[in-house]
Structure 1
Amino acid sequence: MRLKITQGRVLDPASKTDGIYDILVEDGRIVKLDTQIEEEADQVIDASGFYVMPGLIDLHVHFREPGFEYKETIATGSAAAAKGGFTGVCPMANTNPVVDTPEMIRWILKKGEEVSPVHLYPIGAVTYGLKGEQITDAAAMKAAGMCALSEDGKTVMDARVYRDALRQAAANDIVVMDHCEDANLLKGGAMHAGKKADSLGLIGISHAVEDVITARDILLAKETGAHLHLCHCSTAGSVRMAREAKEDGVHLTAEVCPHHFTLTVEDIPEGDANFKMAPPLRDAADVQALKEGLRDGIIDAISTDHAPHSVEEKTNPEFVKNANGIVGLETAVSLVISELVEPGWLTPLQMAEKMSYRPAQILGIEAGELKVGRAADITIIDPSAEYVIDKNTFASKGRNTPFHGRKVHGRVMATIVDGKVVYQAE
């Protein structure tokens, strides 16, 4: 089977390529990349005017299966990923049962082989049952196919336990993805602390809730030599500490989610829990710092924290009682283009770096490059396409998005995994 992609703007951060090229794919691999390819193909995609970049990789998704299939399944989450341009995703461990053993890692991978059009890179729990008490056997889970450790959704509050986990991770060359929220400072919090929360009579979530754990875990990473990855950074303090840690030689990477560089706490309509997430939407100064961190390379990756919930879990009249999280796989590309690329915060090549190349490097996988001989994982995007986000068209089971009705630019035209077109826009 031969596939040819013609005259697209090829964006490959690994080789710094940014130009108009053809790509020839055969038997699932890239066999030729040139300004013009004459060979015939079974399928031809005209990519004129489109970005052609390495398949996007999302370091942070929640697919809910096993245990919470009413929210999302591996099949529906993977379909949403393909529609969103992602060729690989990292499902978090907070399922039921928790993904905390080699057997559960193998179960996720087997299920993915059966139902997922995209690559799954499962994440294992830091502690058994996400209880924060006893660290899991990270080496055994890695041998079974785990890509990283994370307690996402919770913070390991016992610093000694977390230090032990980081030591184990360092010894086995495993990245630890860190959910930075102090559970004690967080208690009862519903949105960012400030005038908005006060006016609604809600307990606020201060910057310190995130910054205290960020500081603690950077110090633990420095002591243990572990690779610490800061999940969903939301504060200017996290950006500043990440910058200082990197300058200090700490093995640190960081991610930001589209909602945190697009919205502020002031954008929350009263009572609309589609704007409720963890960490919460912050203020304008934080949004500015996050954009600067992306531009300057302090924040390495853009991830979605795709977190589907049922309608009932997001429509409680008491804001504080609603579940945290929004869906993000099918809106990420358009938000990055609309909020970062078009305003000049990132170049298109940097977009490919943040959404594909650097995530692959963080995971240590052979992906994120458009290179002859590599697997043909490719995302094709029309950057000028304008449309209005409609949650009712999502492939995800989740409809919990604050972006419904928002006009954006940038549409995924095709997602190719191992040379197979797994999504193509109509």
Structure 2
Amino acid sequence: MAVSCEQWTAAPEPTLGYYPSYPEPGYAAAYSLPVSSEYGTQQQLPVSGDTMSQTYDCPMSAAGPGSASPWSLLGLNQTKQMCFGLSMDATKLEEARMQLSGMDYSRATGQDEDGDTILHIYSAKGHREWAFAAAERLRDVGRLDAKEHKGKTALLVAVTANQPEIAQDLLSLGTDINACDVKGQTALHLAVHYGFPGVLQAVLSSRPAVNLEARNFEGMTPLHCAAISHGATMKAFSTSGLTDVSLQTKAAEKLSCVQMLLTAGASLCSQEIKSNKTVLHLAVKEGNIDLVRYLLRIPLANMKDFVNMKAHGHTALHMAAGLHGNPHQEEILRLLLSRGGDPSIRNLENDQPAHLLQSGPQGEQLKLMLKKRSASSRRRYVSLQDQE
């Protein structure tokens, strides 16, 4: 009998266009996010005029669970790329303000047929000074959080476009940090879905206003989405022959997002609504050995209870037993057992994990391992009763 769990499929990447009727700050170039299952970060558009002065600053340095720093999962180059704190060009900002002030009111504050304001456009294209000036104008007329046809505010567009500085600017101007799109996805959901640690940090730096446990319309918190997204990248990486450097980098970025959420206080024990899975269930179900290792290294006082939580009757051990043919099945089973996994627990069909193992020599070997652990647990329980 195999464990049956419904699959959540990540939404495809959106494409963000722009409309020529809006003025361009010195050049014209179309912007769009890559339509890819691996959410590669788009190239930054060139900015005309003087080079913007850069003062890099990484404000987050708190240690995450089981690691010295949320950035430690990434290489030095990736860490530098995700540090934000670029100072705006004062000359360009004043130019943008003047241009906006002289613009027709309906063009400066209105929405086009797709619901996009000029702020949505500038946020998507990465024009920071113009986005800031537009945000000031829209804030003054109470339209800073106007939504386009997919329910995205300018903040959600900035997050999707991997624009941490613009996201931080919008937050400083008072945009709704917990706004969601038509799928219930907040800035946190989108940042971890695409694997953008820099944008995630910009949003998390606005704590405690941000809701770490917000649910999208699939009933998932940002932590659940981060686990699913990391698993998708790891699966693609494993099928690539472990030679795709871009996938390896993206996997590290997404695992960093998981770590950052937990460092910020996201609940490890939160269960998604549809099937009650925790982030551990999601990792085990996909055979995501890297995430399982990371989660089980976190120093939890109630680790045994966490490992044995049920998702519609199935513990993580039940799910690991159902990983027939997965090269990491035995290691995942051993890790779960070492952290208190109880092989005697039965699911709703009255099956123990051993009953869900594959047939054949490997299944028999794993069954013996589970039975030995179960017998050992019973002996310890009897010994404790005798001591009492």
Asked if these proteins are the same fold (TM beyond 0.5), I'd say no
> TM-score, normalized by length of structure 2?
0.31
Q: Scaled by the length of structure 1, what TM-score is found? A: 0.29
Larger relative contact order (CA 8 Å, sep ≥ 6): 1
Higher normalized helix content (fraction of residues): 2
Larger radius of gyration: 2
Name the one with the larger strand percent. Answer: 1
